[in-house]
Amino acid sequence: MFIYNLYIFMPSFDVVSKIDLAEVDNAINGAMREISNRYDFKNSESKVSREDESVFLIAEDNYKIDQVQQIFRTHLVKRGLSSGYFEFSKIEDARGGLLKQFSKILHGIDKELAQQINKTIKNSKLKVQVAIRGDEVRVSSNKRDLLQSTIQIIKEMKVKQPLQFINFRD
C-alpha cells in the first residue's frame, strides 16, 4: 500500500526587485553615444561605465557630471528601467582633476525593506502568511482576493526601489 503526501497548495506570489543588467549596459552605451555626439562635451573626458554592481560617472566639473547623470537617467527610461534601482553617492574628486560619482545598483529586497513589507502586511490584518526568503518575500493565503489586496497594500507603501510581483499561483 502506497501512502502519498498530499500537499495543499495555497495561492501565493513573490515580491522581488530584479534589474536586467544587459539593459543597464545598453543604457550606458546609449548615454556614451549621446555624450560623444554632444557639442558641450566636445574634447571632454566624461563617461559612464559599469563594474559589477556599480555604475561610475566621470566628468570635469559639477555641471558636466549632472548632465552625464541626466543623460544616463534618460537612457534608462528609454530602455524601460526605473532610476529607482540606482542610489547615487556624493560627487568626489578623482585623479587628473576629474570628478566622479558612483551609484550602487539596488536589486533584491534587503532585510530592512523585507521587514517593513512584513510589518505593513501584518498591520493590515489580512489573513495572509509572509515568508522572507533571502532577497525576496513570499506571500500566501487561502484566497486569491486577499493576495490581490496585499499587492495593493504593498504598492501603496511608495517604496523608492521598484518591486515586481511574480510567480502568482492559484
pLDDT beyond 80 at 150: yes
Q: How far is CA 108 from CA 18, 33, 87, 163, in A?
A: 6, 30, 14, 9
Q: Diameter of the chain by CA atoms?
A: 81
pLDDT beyond 50 at 7: no
Assigned fold of 12-17+109-169: Alpha-Beta Plaits (3.30.70)
| Pairwise CA distance, residues 55 & 87, whole Å | 10
pLDDT band at 41 (very low <50, low <70, confident <90, very high): confident
Give, in words, the CATH class of 21-105: alpha beta
pLDDT beyond 50 at 5: no
30 C-beta neighbours (distance < 10 Å), count: 18
168 C-beta neighbours (distance < 10 Å), count: 14
Topology agreement, domain 12-17+109-169 and domain 21-105: yes
Q: What is the mean pLDDT of the chain?
A: 87
pLDDT band at 56 (very low <50, low <70, confident <90, very high): very high
Residue 72 grid coordinates = 544616463
Per-residue pLDDT tens over the stretch 116-128: 999 999 998 889 8
Give me the residue spans of the domains in the chain. Answer: 12-17+109-169, 21-105
Beta strand spans in 96-163 (E): 99-105, 129-133, 136-140
